[in-house]
Structure 1
Amino acid sequence: MADLHDDLSDVGTHRGNDPEPETGQTVRSPTGPDPNATEAQPAQGLFVVVRAPSGEWLSIQAHSARAEVAGPDEGEEVGQYRSVEALRDALADADMNEHVAVFEDAEADRVLVENDVSAHHAWIGKPRYPRVTLFRDADEANAFAEAHERSGEDA
């Protein structure tokens, strides 16, 4: 208050005109989140779904939630999903029910072949299986699993 000009009183009220109620400008503030909604959840991971150019297989690759993944070397990327639920919905839309799946087990360093896998299989989206490949044909799935087992033994 020490910086007041000499011609202004340091005590009193404003005696000027009242401000106009309408300024002619519209001011908007962003709408916040719904207070009744559930709290935000951290991403479970990044799931990248890739389809073979021939359409014979569909691969699901799991990455950490903060991973930035380049496009696939082989095949066409179907999508990237941040939750298991979104991944399952995408697989259901891709009509991959009743396919044979090859699960790459990271903990046991082996592959597992499961018949008649649907989008809601319990192992899909689990960190233990960082790559799942779905095949239409059981013989192709078994050949893929055998080739993977042999390549794992040589490493």
Structure 2
Amino acid sequence: MADLPEDLSGVGTHRGNDPASETGQTVRSPTGPDPNATEAQPAPALFVVVQAASGDRLSIRAHSARADVSAPEDGEEVGRYRTVEALRRGLAGVEMDADVAVFEDAEADRVLVEDDVSADHAWIGKPRYPRITLFQDSDAAHAFAEAHDRPTPHP
């Protein structure tokens, strides 16, 4: 008791009210994830879907999962998706009857035109194709592909 300040008495008892043992409050803890479930997986990419200002095409760009992507300058953003499944669900709900796609193949450094493409196409969401452009008109898709098919010369 040597640590008591000089103005306090070292002798005495507490005369305040005793704290209540029951507070009358119910405390709930949120339910956590199931420990037997599969482990969380990081998002593979950020998929940004943009409707062109002209309304004639839809563009899907794949970015790094941590990329900070600004709003598009030349069109209206339709959505951002973190998984391929979410991207496919988002494309299924788009009001565009896109059946021709131009896939930019990053590995082969070329573009490919695929007819009869739907949201379930096997190439959608693959890292090999970082940019996909969907068209309503086959001629417009082929013209777009020809204008953008510029392979980079390799030494």
Normalised to the residue count of structure 1, the TM-score between the two structures is 0.80
* Matches of 2:20 and 2:27, distance apart in 1: 15
Bigger fraction of residues in helix: 1
* Matches of 2:73 and 2:81, distance apart in 1: 19
* Matches of 1:153 and 1:32, distance apart in 2: 50
Q: Which amino acid aligns with 1:83?
A: T
Q: Which amino acid aligns with 1:47?
A: F
Task: State how many pairs are aligned.
Answer: 145
CA contact (8 A) 2:104 2:130 kept: yes
Which residue of the partner structure matches residue 92 of structure 1? 92
* Matches of 2:124 and 2:73, distance apart in 1: 22
Backbone CA RMSD of aligned residues = 2.9
Where does structure 1 lack aligned partners over 5 or more consecutive residues?
8-16
Normalised to the residue count of structure 2, the TM-score between the two structures is 0.80
Which residue of the partner structure matches residue 6 of structure 2? none
* Matches of 1:36 and 1:94, distance apart in 2: 36
- The percent of aligned pairs where both chains have the same amino acid is 74
Runs of 4+ aligned structure 1 residues displaced above 4 Å come to 95-98
Per-residue deviation, 1:55: 1.8
- Superposed CA offset, 1:19-71 (max 9, x none): 63421444333332233443211101000000012321000000111111001
CA contact (8 A) 2:106 2:129 kept: yes
